[in-house]
Amino acid sequence: MALLPILRYPDPRLHTVARPVGAVDARIRQLAADMFETMFAAKGIGLAATQVDVHEQLIVMDVSEARDEPLVLINPELVATSAERAVGDEGCLSVPQIYDKVERFERVTVRFLDLDGQTRTLDAEGLLAICIQHEMDHLKGKVFVEYLSPLKRNRIKSKLAKRSRDEAEA
C-alpha cells in the first residue's frame, strides 16, 4: 500500500468530473487500499479518487468510531433522497482545517458497485449520508466550500494560500 498525495483546494484538478470505473479489477482494488491508507493517515472519514488526482468514480469511507467499518463505493448514484434536509459542519481533507455549515439531505439511498463488482444498495442517514453526499460531490468536481458565499470562499482561498506559502518557507 502507499500514501497518495491529496490535492488541496483551489487546485483546478479538484473540479474534474470523474468518469465511471470500467472494470473492478486488481488496479481498482489497489487504488481503494491506497486511498484507505491515505485517508486514515490524514485522519479523514471519506476520500474520493478525485482528491488523489485519479478521476474515476471511486470513494472510500469509514465513519465508525473504531475505524473498522470500511466502505467502498464504485460508480455511486443516489437513487433516493429524503424530503428533510439538515445543516451541519463539514470539513475536507482537500481543504485542511476549514469547517463550515452545509445543507444536505438527512437520508439517502445509494446504489454502487463493491470491490467484487457486485451491485449493492445502501440506505444511509446521519454522518454516513452526509459523507456519501460530500464525496459524491467530489466525483462531480465540486468541493464543499462552493456551497458557501463568494466572500467566505475567497477568505478560505486566501487563508490556504498563506498557509502554503508559510509551509514552503519553513
The residues annotated with a catalytic role in the active site are 135
Give residue 168's pLDDT band: very low, low, confident or very high (50, 70, 90): confident
Mean of pLDDT values over 44-54: 98
* Domain assignment present for 72: yes
Mean of pLDDT values over 38-59: 98
* Domain assignment present for 19: yes
* Domain assignment present for 80: yes
* Domain assignment present for 52: yes
User: pLDDT, tens digit, for every residue of 121-161?
Assistant: 999 999 999 999 999 999 999 999 999 999 999 999 899 88
CATH code at 113? Answer: 3.90.45.10
Mean of pLDDT values over 84-106: 96
* Domain assignment present for 6: no
User: pLDDT, tens digit, for every residue of 20-31?
Assistant: 999 999 999 999
Is residue 163 over pLDDT 90? no
Parent domain of 155: 12-169
The three-state (H, E, C) secondary structure of the chain, written as one string: CCCCCCCCCCCHHHHCCCECCCCCCHHHHHHHHHHHHHHHHCCCCEEEHHHHCCCECEEEECCCCCCCCCEEEEEEEEEEECCCEEEEEEEECCEEEEEEEEEEECEEEEEEECCCCCEEEEEEEHHHHHHHHHHHHHHCCCCHHHHCCHHHHHHHHHHHHHHHHHHHHC
pLDDT number for residue 85: 97
pTM score of the predicted model: 0.95
pLDDT number for residue 145: 95
Annotated binding residue 131: no
pLDDT number for residue 115: 98
* Domain assignment present for 83: yes
Annotated binding residue 134: yes
Query: Number of structural domains, the chain?
Result: 1
Annotated binding residue 92: yes
Mean of pLDDT values over 64-84: 97
* Domain assignment present for 5: no
